[in-house]
Amino acid sequence: MDQANPRRRHPAASPLSPAEGAPTVQRDGPPPRRVPAPPTVPRLEIAPTFPCEADVAPGLEVLATAEVRRVLGDRASAPRVTRPGVLAFTYTGDLAPLLRLRTVLAVYLVRRFAVPRPRALLGDEHFRAILRLIASIRATAPDDAYRSLYLSAAGSDSSVLARLKEELGKGTGLRVAPPTAHEGDLHLRLRRPPGGGAGWELLARLSPRPLGARAWRVRNLEGALNATVAHAMALLTTPDPRDQFLNLACGSGTLLIERAACGPATRLLGVDLSADALEIARANVAAAGYADRIELRQGDARALNLPDASIDALCADLPFGHLVGTHDENLTLYPAILAEAARVARREAPFVLITHEIRLLETLLAASADWALEDTLRVALGGLHPRIFVLRRR
Ligand X SMILES: C[S@@+](CC[C@H](N)C(=O)[O-])C[C@H]1O[C@@H](n2cnc3c(N)ncnc32)[C@H](O)[C@@H]1O
Q: Which residues bind ligand X (CB under 6 A)?
A: 221, 223-225, 249, 251-252, 254-255, 271-274, 277, 300-302, 317, 319, 324, 333
Q: Tell me whether residue 109 or residue 261 sits nearer to ligand X (CB atom).
A: 261
Q: Tell me whether residue 156 or residue 252 sits nearer to ligand X (CB atom).
A: 252
Specify the pairing of strand 313-317 against strand 244-248.
parallel
Closest distance to ligand X from the beta carbon of 86 (Å): 25
Q: Which residue is nearest to ligand X (CB)?
A: 251
- Cβ atoms 202, 110 nearer than 8 A: yes
At what angle are helices 124-138 and 159-172 packed, to 10 degrees?
50
Q: Where are the beta strands (DSSP E) in 196-327?
A: 200-205, 244-248, 267-272, 294-298, 313-317
Q: Tell me whether residue 219 or residue 267 sits nearer to ligand X (CB atom).
A: 219
DSSP code of 102? S
Gap between the Cα atoms of 152 and 196, Å rounded: 19
- For residue 330, what are the CA distances in angstroms to 223, 233, 320, 339, 355? 16, 21, 8, 14, 11
Q: Tell me whether residue 45 or residue 328 sits nearer to ligand X (CB atom).
A: 328
How does 248-272 read in b/e, with b if 16+ C-beta sit within 10 Å?
A: bbbbbbbbbbbbbbbeebeebbbbb
Gap between the Cα atoms of 302 and 365, Å rounded: 17
Q: Tell me whether residue 153 or residue 221 sits nearer to ligand X (CB atom).
A: 221
- Cβ atoms 77, 89 nearer than 8 A: yes
Q: Which run of H or of E encompasses 51?
A: strand 49-55
* Chain-centre distance for alpha carbon 255: 14
Q: Tell me whether residue 145 or residue 287 sits nearer to ligand X (CB atom).
A: 287
The torsion region of residue 29 among left (phi > 0), alpha (psi -120 to 50) and beta comes to left
Closest distance to ligand X from the beta carbon of 317 (Å): 3
Gap between the Cα atoms of 385 and 377, Å rounded: 10
Q: Tell me whether residue 151 or residue 271 sits nearer to ligand X (CB atom).
A: 271
For residue 134, count CB atoms less than 10 angstroms from its CB and return exposed for 0-12, middle for 13-18, buried for 19 or more: buried
Q: Which run of H or of E encompasses 151?
A: strand 148-153
Closest distance to ligand X from the beta carbon of 131 (Å): 39
- Cβ atoms 114, 199 nearer than 8 A: yes
Q: Tell me whether residue 102 or residue 138 sits nearer to ligand X (CB atom).
A: 102
Closest distance to ligand X from the beta carbon of 63 (Å): 18
- Cβ atoms 289, 260 nearer than 8 A: no
Closest distance to ligand X from the beta carbon of 280 (Å): 7
* DSSP one-letter string for 358-391: HHHHHHHHHT-SSEEEEEEEE--BTTB--EEEEE
Q: Tell me whether residue 77 or residue 326 sits nearer to ligand X (CB atom).
A: 326
Q: Tell me whether residue 103 or residue 254 sits nearer to ligand X (CB atom).
A: 254
Q: Tell me whether residue 67 or residue 317 sits nearer to ligand X (CB atom).
A: 317
